[in-house]
Each structure stands twice: as C-alpha cells, then as structure tokens.
Amino acid sequence: MQEWEDYDEQNDEEIQKAEEQAMIAKMQRASKQKGDKRQKIDKNVAFAEYKQTEEAKALEETIIQCRRDLTNSREELKRKTESINLIKAEIDQARNFLEAKAAKKHESAIHAAKDPGFSSGGFDDSPDHRAEMIDEEELAMIK
Amino acid sequence: MKDLKKNYRESFTAIKEHKSAINFSQQAIDNAKQQLVASYEQWYEETFEDPVLKEAPKTA
C-alpha cells in the first residue's frame, strides 16, 4: 500500500499569506501610482517634458543618426548620378561617331556600286572584292 | 567604349545600392518617429490623469 506524506497545512497558510501580501503590495503600488498622476497639461508642453526622459533622448538620437545617414546617402547619390550622366554622354558621343562613320561607309559603298569595274592596275575594284577598312580613330572608339 | 560601358554598369550598381540605403534610412526614421510618438502617448497616459475617470461632482 502506498504511503502518503504528511500534509503540512501550515505551509499552505504561509503561501496564502504571501499571496495576500503580494496582492496588497500591488494594490498599494497601483494606488500610489494613481495618486502620483498629475493634472493634464497641454500636449506640446508635455512633449517638451517627455523629450527630457532617457527613452525619448535615445529615440531622438536614433532619428538624428538616421537623418545624417540619409543626408550622406543623398549626397553620394547626387555625385554618382552626375558621374553616370557624364559616362552616358561619353557613350552617346562615341556611338554617334561610330554611327556617322558607318553611314559614311555605307554611302561610299552605294557610290562605288553605281560605278563598278576594274581599277587602272587591272585589279578587281568591285564592292564585293573590297575589304572593309577601319581607320585608327574608329578602332580606338570601338576599343 | 568597353571601358565606358563597364564604368556605366558599375555606377549603375552603385546608384542602386545608394537608393536602397536611402530607402532604408527613410524607413528607419519613420519607424523611430512612430516609436517616439507611441512611447510619448504611453508616457502621457501614465503621467497625467484622465478627467473622465475623475469622480463626478456631487449634486445637492
């Protein structure tokens, strides 16, 4: 048969007492807190007061730091945008040059096609036999 | 031309990164502001009494 431990009723009373004391202390704290409350004041005035607390100071510091980061990032973005626009302008300039060259070559090819034949040296100077020439300036641009 | 295109691609990537950084900073500012307002409202409620909860004046 199982043996049961003696039930200590005094222990139970002690727990109950402790719980009661804790509850009373909690009520006293709540009552004290309620008593500490002040008359409502203007919210702007209250905000100025709140800003003096440690929590508000920490949050404000975070905001200031983020604003600093934002300003720096915006300045850097502005610099990079100016730089990329310059690069784009250079690319456009090079592209225009190459397109103009290509157009000139095409025009020459059409002109030569209208007047096919052999050169005075007896070489075939027809457009099909003419090698495409790229001058140094064009090569530098392509590179 | 190749170098220019390479520079352009690099700058483009850098710009994208800066835009992300800007969005991140802006979001962080908004969050901190919201937190500040919420924290202030809580502090205000805890510090000042609510007139609604005050006892109504006794009538004769």
pLDDT for residue A31? 57
| Report field, pTM of the whole predicted structure over 0.90 | no
Cβ distance of B48 and A142 shorter than 8 Å: no
Question: Mutation test of the interface with chain A: which of B31, B37, B49, B50, choosing the one with the most A Cβ atoms within 10 A?
Answer: B49
CB under 8 Å to A124, separation ≥6 — which residues?
Answer: A118
Cβ distance of B15 and A87 shorter than 8 Å: no
pLDDT for residue A117? 58
pLDDT for residue B45? 87
Walking along chain A (143 residues) 10 residues at a time, the average pLDDT comes out as: 55 74 68 69 89 92 93 92 93 92 87 66 55 68 66
Put simply, whether A124 touches B (Cβ < 8 Å) is no
Look at chain B and count its residues.
Answer: 60
**A41 and B48 in contact (C-beta within 8 Å)?**
yes
Give the separation between CA A17 and CA A28, rounded to whole angstroms.
Answer: 16
**A46 and B44 in contact (C-beta within 8 Å)?**
yes
pLDDT for residue A23? 73
Terminal CA-to-CA distance of chain A, rounded, Å? 100
Counted across chains A and B, CB pairs separated by less than 8 A come out at: 92
Give the separation between CA A22 and CA B52, rounded to whole angstroms.
Answer: 29
Q: Is the pLDDT of residue B53 over 90?
A: no
pLDDT for residue A41? 84
Distance of CA A13 to the CA centre of its chain: 63
What mean pLDDT comes out for the span B30-51?
88
Q: Is the pLDDT of residue B9 over 70?
A: yes
